[in-house]
A and B are shown apart, each in its own frame.
Chain A
């Protein structure tokens, strides 16, 4: 149970909190009596967490909702691994976390969980996973291969460095130079010089403003007109990407048309003879500035701390990503008939985020360490229908990228990162031992490439599929998970052989296979089912363990985060 004082220090909201609560109809007489204490924004992520806990605790109480229990360590571990690394935890990682008990450093409870969140945010696989997630969010899965390669490379480094979000986005929108030195060009390269898409996607992804509807007609229920759209599009009109060189020497560069004066600025950005100059959405038309591309002005405006669309969109996306539900849904469609559920809270979190220096780890830590994130999926009578107050967690469908990463790590568990770097010398100069290691490593690499192809075939790549949650189950996907040779032979058999060799007892083997595939320890119920199943199968040879391994990969649990 939270103390009032904790509640009041929360969200750095002190003075605001009671306003927030009363805004949502909470009678909080006792809060009013408490002395308000102003806190500085952006200093302490735990204040945001405490605020979320306190605020939604009060709101739930007022709505007569009894929240679901805080989930156990096993559930939390799997959940946070899938969200931050894009795959379930492996047995060694489960052991290290020591669910239900103290970790190696003697931490337990929320302290232990927070330490894990910190560690995973610094994990190299986190940068890989978020690079995937954001690349798909920005340009989709079917964009040009080179655009994807460069954008992903840029994002991976940016997430590894925890680059402030405003700098990251500015760099993409104002990208200059040439590949490979400036991989950030990948973002704009993806639009293949379609200026309308550059404006539309940039507004949608980074501000939640869907102005693209206004490309063809004035927006049906927003005040955006075709004029507004053209004003945003005009920022990109002087820009194009050029290509030079052949084969391996081929590179891309920004090919902006030079702008030397006001007239040229307007003319270069004009269309259909109307000469609409670059105009911030709902704001001013820019003036000519020497040595400054219109895109740079757009980037500055877009990512400034004053742009509440920018900061709120980011907060909303992370709320939706981690909690399965943001304040605005669809996550990137902020408009007048789609108001946030808690506008004041969103606004406050947005300010806090901006004040933190657009540090995405700040919001991620606040959200993931909050009670909102750590509730069980199981509901009770009072919160079964709660889709608003975060009193329970939702089952989230994994993205194709998460599924691929999960398969890769689960089947590759024993061999993925086992082989050391091989000296970069001709094959015949390697020692026998190195040759053997290289063979394994090449085999694993080959398997990974084939897995990527298999996933692409089964999930397809459709330009319409931009968003988290767009992927449904299809027959083709079910067939792949059941029958693909790649998931039934070779590496899979190796994984089983390795486990069988390492663990002499049948009990340990099924325990290990279960943990490997599903990323958690089996419950008593799970074990009862498994024991009964093996008794029924009447044998525990490798084939039986393979059947167990593959069966678990075909459960709903394997492709969901709960």
Chain B
């Protein structure tokens, strides 16, 4: 990245603050604007080097997972499992995770006001409520930006299933690399039929030649951003590390430990990537929007989740990676204590659960508590939720633990913005 380009781009933005410009608000060029960030030393003062986010899409019920109210009118007909950690009593289907209670920290008092899937997902993924004029980066993009090495052959943020979520003002190089079918052949990663390395090389050489003239006359920033993406894509195509996306060379006994299914495969791939140096991985497990038939569906979902999650923890521990890898489990909101007549529950952002582990945090504890029926307010509407944690608080906690540049003012379009909401408060119990 040559200096003149970034200088021009900064001036451009500054001018745009007054003049405005579609181009300026786009993050198309953002990677180039912040030339100085590219050279930032990414090693932050933190034990945590990797983050794996297990995102439960649809709003996982707290009452069928980690905040059961057995025997109560709001409770599920599930038994709890007593664990070594007081207050950590997961549903009976969490046979393996129950054994790992000492390696986890449960937050029962996550709380927000967003009960709409899209808005709440945005909030839990970024720590901010959606703002139509600004795109906040999601957790993986922040981690990629703050802790990733830009010259790494693999993408710094890999997302296994789920929709792409742009890195916004953090620039294109921190966008997620989305694998929609984990373990399966990644589309377009191989040369097209009839094309070999030699032909591809000559094509790209011609592109490069053609770009020189275009860059000179019509916008070097666009060409730079374009070139960076292509270089990264080419490097990935020819990289021996790409086998880390696949499971062929993974020993059978390990695969057995994680179990079968797309989520299990994703967990193994996440470990392989983390082991190779990828700082951020997100895995999506959908299907948690249980308006009907919740008892049966949650039991099934936990069946997909329990063994791979526990295996991931065991595997990371065995390889000495658990202390440097933070594993976060959460969804966009919880579900209503009151049951529907179809054994389902509605959306409930007022209190829900998140589970954190690894990264050297203080595990074996439970934060927050709901009342005996699972509500967070008394009859008069006063909050009864113990130690409430907002999504922004959670991000502040993560940012503090990972030593993100939280006081740094970033520029998005024409307004200042921070990685984490300045008004939020970190949960000190997690790391102090």
Contact check, A489 vs B192: say whether CB atoms are below 8 A apart. yes
- B199 and A475 within 8 A (CB): no
Q: Is A529 an interface residue (CB 8 A)?
A: yes
Asked if B163 and A472 make an inter-chain contact with CB atoms under 8 angstroms apart, the answer reads no
Q: How far is the CA of A146 from the CA of B392 in the complex (A)?
A: 35
Q: For residue B193, give the distance in angstroms from its CB to the closest CB of chain A.
A: 5
0/1 string, A478-510, CB within 8 A of B gives 1: 111011110111000000000000000000000
Whole-angstrom distance between the Cβ of B31 and the nearest chain A Cβ: 8
How many Å from the CB of A551 to the closest CB on chain B? Answer: 4
A378-B218, A479-B189, A560-B219 known; A329 and B210 CB under 8 Å?
Answer: no
B15→A387 contact, CB < 8 A: yes
Q: Flag B221-253 by CB within 8 Å of A: 1 or 0 each.
A: 011011111101110110000000000000000
| Alpha-carbon distance between A478 and B203 when the two chains are bound, in angstroms | 13
What chain B residues lie within 8 Å of A464 (beta carbons)? 122, 130, 135, 165-166
List 30 interface pairs A-B (beta carbons < 8 Å), by A numbering: A213-B131, A320-B22, A325-B19, A326-B20, A329-B22, A338-B414, A377-B219, A378-B217, A387-B15, A387-B19, A388-B18, A394-B21, A397-B23, A397-B26, A397-B222, A467-B25, A469-B23, A470-B135, A473-B172, A473-B225, A474-B177, A475-B177, A476-B164, A476-B188, A484-B188, A487-B192, A543-B194, A554-B203, A556-B223, A557-B210
A488 and B218 in contact, given A385-B15, A469-B25 (Cβ under 8 angstroms) = no
Question: Is A370 part of the binding interface, using a Cβ–Cβ cutoff of 8 Å?
Answer: no
Contact call B26/A387, Cβ cutoff below 8 A: no
CA of A58 to CA of B226, assembled, Å: 37
In the complex, what residues of A have CB within 8 A of residue B414's CB? 329, 338
Residues of B close to A479: CB separation below 8 A: 187-189, 233, 236-237
Interface size on B, residues (CB 8 A): 80
- Tell me, yes or no, whether A207 is within 8 Å of chain B by CB: no
Q: Are A457 and B180 in contact, CB atoms less than 8 angstroms apart?
A: yes
| Contact (Cβ within 8 A) B22 A331 | yes
Contact call B213/A526, Cβ cutoff below 8 A: yes
Is A489 touching B413 in the complex (CB atoms < 8 A)? Answer: no
Those of A543-559 within 8 Å (CB) of chain B: 543, 547-548, 550-552, 554-557, 559
CB B283 to nearest CB in A, in angstroms, measures 17
Q: Is the CB of A462 within 8 A of B165?
A: yes
Label chain A's interface by main secondary structure.
Answer: loop
Q: Are A556 and B226 within 8 A (Cβ)?
A: yes
A381 to chain B, nearest CB (A): 13
Q: In the bound complex, what is the Cα–Cα distance between A440 and B31 (angstroms)?
A: 44
A422 at the A/B interface (Cβ < 8 Å)?
no
Asked whether any CB of chain B lies closer than 8 Å to the CB of A204, the reply is yes
B210 touches A551 (CB 8 A): yes
Query: How far does the Cβ of A484 sit from chain B's closest Cβ, in whole Å?
Result: 5
Given contacts A482-B233, A483-B188, contact A460 B163 (CB under 8 A): yes
Chain B residue, CB-CB nearest to A211: B132
Contacts of B15 in A (CB 8 A): 385-388
For A212, list chain B residues within 8 Å (CB): 132
Chain A residue nearest in CB terms to B168: A464
Most buried by B among A325, A465, A475: A475
B21-A555 in contact (CB<8A): no
A376-394 CB contacts (< 8 Å) to partner B: 377-378, 384-388, 394
Tell me, rounded to whole Å, the shortest Cβ–Cβ distance linking B390 to chain A: 12
